[in-house]
Amino acid sequence: MLRPEKKSVATLFVSRKTWLHKLHPFNKLAYILLTGVVVYLGPAEWYVKAILIVLNLGLAIRGEVFKATWRLVWRTLLPLAFFMIVIHGLLYPENRTILISFYGVHFCQEGFLFALNILLQLTAVLTASLIFVLCTHPTDLITAISQAGFPQSLAYLVGSPMLLLPMMRARIRTIQDAQRSRGLDSEGSFKKRFLALFPLVAPLVLGSLVEIEQRSIALEIRGFSTTGPKTSFRTLSDTKWQQLLRWAMLSVSMLIIIYRIWK
Amino acid sequence: MAQSEKISKTFSTVTLALIAFAIVLNMAIGQLVSLLKLPIFLDSIGTILVGILAGPLAGGLTGLLTNLIWGLISSPVAAAFAPVAMMIGIVAGLCAKYGLFKTWWKVIIAGVIITIFNAIVAVPIRLYMFGGITGSGADFMTAYMLALGKDLLGSVVVTVFTSNLLDKVVTALLAWGIVKALPERTVSRLSRIDSVAT
């Protein structure tokens, strides 16, 4: 049985009433693109990336999502930074200049700087994407997709997984419990555990696949595949200058890309 | 006109419901499989299933959207690997189209092909965006290869290929087994079912 536990899955979205939250989702997406292009194809100097990071953190403060941004950046990048600095500091193939040396192990400058550069790039792109993720209600994104003239089906594909996920998780718990109570061997040898894979996965997938038919009939009944314009419950503010801003960011990104290919 | 007709046939309402379900499956299955403590994540099983059942276009879309939505609900890093997931769906769909999902040993070949194309897209992303390190257990492998004197590209290629081979082959086999076990009435609603011998 499928029992919905919660109505929808928790996204990273933080509900506030700032201008960043009201900004059209596509503008925030274009900003991620622009940041990515500048970071990876723009000037190689480290301070360009540092300026972008400061700018993004500033935006996060204006959007009142600084705490969440800060926490997510550390959670994502701390393990990465640890592996990156240790592995490249010790093993980067172009290591020459020894910074620290202990018991015959050399920690080198080239690998360290390489790791720092990668981490700066990642932080810049990550903070830009977090501004989008934290300040955009998923429904706004879905509304934006369908209002921009993309097919209604695309909006459905972005929206419905978020509603289905809690149900799927509930179903997985049921299967886990059922198989455990039947004596599924999750402690045994590699071969035993390997053979247990199919009986664990098959009921989940088969059960859901059969349900798809009902789901699609439900969609059909509600006129999902009809053509013609559809009215949306939510409206998004999309002013002239917002559209201008969007196109400006896209054009600058394109120009940088073309410039790099040209060179 | 023919092209748009083809697209609307690919994306019938059943296919849409299938894709939506497959996206959720990709995201949730890790929780189920973790019970067995195997070095397998199965996070592309939905993508491969859609590739088999609805073709390369739908498969690619499934992979792409899985990682983008993942980026929205847990960590934006997943979104960076969206092109990889898309490639998996496209290649799985093409493998099915050319009859590689008919017998078990052909399915294993399909799994290997998927792993190769997975590496072709994943290696540049891992290398240029992440400097070869992603903060997971696979990093030890990269470190080991580097310690053996391989260059960064070589180390990342070896890591991506070996850490995915078992997972993708097992995923392909499971997807094939599941499609074969589908009841007739569901099967008849899906367009590309001929790609699997029944």
Which distant-in-sequence residues (6+ apart) come within 8 Å of A36 by Cβ?
Answer: A125, A128
| Chain B: closest CA distance from residue A97 (Å) | 17
Instruction: Specify whether A217 is located in the same domain as A248.
Output: no
Report the domain count for chain A: 2
- Check CB contact under 8 Å for B36 and A10: no
Start-end of H helices in chain B: 2-10, 13-33, 45-54, 56-73, 77-80, 82-97, 104-124, 130, 138-147, 152-181, 184-187
Asked, for residue A258, whether it belongs to a domain, the answer is yes
Domain with A71, as residue range(s), is: 19-136+234-262
Asked, for residue A151, whether it belongs to a domain, the answer is no
Q: Tokens representing A132? A: 């989008």
Using an 8 Å CB-CB cutoff, list chain A residues near B134.
Answer: 80
Mean pLDDT in residue range B139-155: 87
Instruction: Specify whether A128 is located in the same domain as A253.
Output: yes
Q: Burial, A116: exposed, middle or buried (Cβ in 10 Å; 0-12, 13-18, 19+)? A: middle
Q: Tokens representing A232? A: 């949306």
Q: Which of B17, B28, B185 is opposite residue A216, by nearest beta carbon?
A: B17
Tell me the CA end-to-end span of chain A in Å, nearest whole number: 60
The answer to whether B15 touches B191, Cβ cutoff 8 Å, is: yes
Using an 8 Å CB-CB cutoff, list chain B residues near A205.
Answer: 25, 45, 49, 178
Instruction: Specify whether A242 is located in the same domain as A128.
Output: yes
Instruction: Specify whether A69 is located in the same domain as A126.
Output: yes
Instruction: Specify whether A197 is located in the same domain as A129.
Output: no
Asked, for residue A149, whether it belongs to a domain, the answer is no
Asked, for residue A127, whether it belongs to a domain, the answer is yes
The answer to whether A153 touches A82, Cβ cutoff 8 Å, is: no
Q: What ipTM was estimated for this complex?
A: 0.83
Asked, for residue A148, whether it belongs to a domain, the answer is no
pTM of the model: 0.86
Instruction: Specify whether A24 is located in the same domain as A79.
Output: yes
Least confident of A60-69, A237-246, B32-41: B32-41
Q: Tokens representing B46? A: 């939905």
Asked, for residue A46, whether it belongs to a domain, the answer is yes
Residue in B31, B43, B52, B73 to test binding to A, most A beta-carbons within 10 Å? B73
Domains of chain B: 2-195 (1.10.1760.20)
Instruction: Specify whether A250 is located in the same domain as A212.
Output: no
- Check CB contact under 8 Å for A129 and B79: yes
Asked, for residue A195, whether it belongs to a domain, the answer is yes
Q: Which of A172, A175, A196 is opposite residue B36, by nearest beta carbon?
A: A196
Mean pLDDT in residue range A104-119: 88
Instruction: Specify whether A125 is located in the same domain as A255.
Output: yes
Asked, for residue A2, whether it belongs to a domain, the answer is no
- What letter does residue B194 receive in the DSSP assignment? G
| Chain A: closest CA distance from residue B126 (Å) | 11
| Chain B: closest CA distance from residue A50 (Å) | 17
Considering only residues A253 and B187, tell me which one the structure prediction assigns the higher pLDDT: A253
User: If pLDDT is split at 50, 70 and 90, which confidence band does A9 have?
Assistant: low
One-letter amino acid identity for B155? S
Q: Which of B11, B18, B178 is opposite residue A212, by nearest beta carbon?
A: B18
Instruction: Please determine, for residue A173, whether its predicted confidence score (pLDDT) is greater than 50.
Output: yes
User: If pLDDT is split at 50, 70 and 90, which confidence band does B117 have?
Assistant: very high
| Chain B: closest CA distance from residue A81 (Å) | 8
Instruction: Specify whether A39 is located in the same domain as A98.
Output: yes
Torsion of CA B183, B187, B188, B191, to 10 degrees: 180
Mean pLDDT in residue range B91-101: 94
CB atoms within 10 A of CB A228: 5
Q: How many CA atoms lie within 13 A of A14 on its CB side?
A: 18
Q: Which pLDDT score is estimated for A4?
A: 43
Considering only residues B66 and B143, tell me which one the structure prediction assigns the higher pLDDT: B66
A-to-B residue pairs, Cβ atoms closer than 8 angstroms? 184
Instruction: Specify whether A66 is located in the same domain as A102.
Output: yes
Instruction: Specify whether A124 is located in the same domain as A239.
Output: yes
- Check CB contact under 8 Å for A88 and B133: yes
Using an 8 Å CB-CB cutoff, list chain A residues near B21.
Answer: 164, 208-209, 211-212, 215
Instruction: Specify whether A113 is located in the same domain as A167.
Output: no
